C-alpha cells in the first residue's frame, strides 16, 4: 500500500482516551451555545438579528477555546505557545492531487447536503419544533424585518468569522489535532470524529445528520491524504459560499 494512504496507527500519533476526545469535541460547542443563549436577550433592542449574538459567541468563546486548547497543548509539548506537534496530518500533497481531491470531495459534500436536507427538515419538525424561530439562523425569512444595510454589516461579519476564521480553526482543531489522536480506531476514526463533530454543533442539533456526514467526509479526506490543508480549503469554501447565498436570499426578500 502506498505510504501516503496507509492507515494511521497508535505508533504514528499520541492518543487520547475516548472520554477525553468526546469532551474536547463537545465542550467548545456547549460553551458557545450557552453564550449564544445569553447574548441573544442582551442585544434584542439593538436592531440587529439574533445572528449577531451567535457571531459574538463565536468571536468571544468558540474561537478562543479552540485556539486556547491547542496552544495550551503546544505549551506543554514545546515549552512555548506553538502548534508544532499539536496539529498533525501536515503532509503536503501535490497541487494536482490537491485539486482533484478538492473537486471530488466538494461534489460529495454537496450531494450529502442535498440528500440530507429532507432528513434535517423532518428532524426539525418532529423533534425540534419547540425551539424559538430565531435559533434557526439559516432560515432566510427571519431577516425580512431588518434593513438591508444592517444585513450587509451582519453578513459581512459572518463571512469573516464563520466563513473563514472559524472553519479554518475548526479544521486545525478537529481534523488536525483531535482526529490523529483517534487513529487507533483505523478507518473508524473519521466516522467517530464526524459523530463528535456533529455533537459539537449543539446550537444546531436539528442539522446533526448533515453536519455528522460532512464532518466524516472531511475526516476521511484528511485521514486518507494526511493533508489538513485540503479540509481547511473545503470547509472555508463551502461556508463562505453558503453565507454569500444566504446574503443574496436575504437581500432579495
User: Taking CA 226 as the corner, what is the angle to CA 6 and CA 92, rounded to the nearest 5 degrees?
Assistant: 120
94 has pLDDT over 70 = yes
Task: List, in sequence order, every residue forming a beta bridge with 90; answer none if it has no partner.
Answer: 227
- Distance of alpha carbon 17 from alpha carbon 192, whole angstroms: 13
253 has pLDDT over 90 = no
39-61 pLDDT, tens per residue? 999 888 888 999 999 999 999 99
pTM score: 0.93
- Distance of alpha carbon 217 from alpha carbon 204, whole angstroms: 19
Distance from the Cα of residue 185 to its chain's centroid: 22
- Distance of alpha carbon 112 from alpha carbon 243, whole angstroms: 18
- Distance of alpha carbon 123 from alpha carbon 110, whole angstroms: 20
- What does the mean pLDDT of the chain come to? 92
Q: What is the pLDDT of residue 12?
A: 67
143-186 pLDDT, tens per residue? 888 988 999 999 999 999 999 999 999 999 999 999 999 999 99
Contacts of 211 (CB under 8 A, 6+ apart): 197, 198, 201, 204
Nearest to 198 by CA among 1, 22, 18, 13: 22
- Distance of alpha carbon 47 from alpha carbon 244, whole angstroms: 22
207-233 pLDDT, tens per residue? 999 999 999 999 999 999 999 999 999
Amino acid at each position: 500500500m502506498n505510504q501516503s494512504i496507509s492507515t494511521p496507527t497508535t505508533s504514528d500519533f499520541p492518543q487520547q482516551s475516548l472520554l477525553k476526545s468526546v469532551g474536547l469535541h463537545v465542550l467548545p460547542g456547549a460553551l458557545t451555545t450557552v453564550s449564544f443563549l445569553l447574548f441573544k436577550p442582551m442585544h434584542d433592542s439593538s436592531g440587529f438579528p439574533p445572528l449577531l449574538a451567535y457571531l459574538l459567541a463565536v468571536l468571544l468563546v468558540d474561537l478562543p477555546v479552540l485556539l486556547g486548547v491547542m496552544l495550551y497543548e503546544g505549551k506543554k509539548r514545546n515549552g512555548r505557545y506553538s502548534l508544532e506537534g499539536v496539529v498533525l496530518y501536515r503532509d503536503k500533497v501535490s497541487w494536482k492531487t490537491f485539486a482533484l481531491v478538492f473537486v471530488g470531495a466538494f461534489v460529495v459534500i454537496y450531494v450529502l447536503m442535498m440528500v440530507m436536507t429532507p432528513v434535517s427538515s423532518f428532524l426539525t419538525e418532529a423533534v425540534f419544533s419547540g425551539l424559538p424561530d430565531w435559533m434557526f439562523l439559516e432560515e432566510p425569512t427571519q431577516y425580512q424585518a431588518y434593513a438591508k444595510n444592517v444585513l450587509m454589516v451582519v453578513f459581512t461579519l459572518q463571512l469573516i468569522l464563520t466563513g473563514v476564521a472559524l472553519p479554518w480553526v475548526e479544521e486545525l482543531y478537529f481534523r488536525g489535532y483531535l482526529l490523529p489522536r483517534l487513529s487507533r480506531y483505523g478507518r473508524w476514526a473519521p466516522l467517530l470524529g464526524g459523530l463528535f463533530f456533529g455533537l459539537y454543533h449543539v446550537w444546531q442539533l436539528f442539522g446533526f445528520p448533515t453536519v455528522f456526514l460532512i464532518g466524516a467526509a472531511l475526516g476521511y479526506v484528511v485521514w486518507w491524504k494526511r493533508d489538513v490543508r485540503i479540509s481547511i480549503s473545503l470547509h472555508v469554501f463551502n461556508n463562505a459560499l453558503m453565507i454569500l447565498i444566504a446574503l443574496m436570499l436575504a437581500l432579495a426578500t
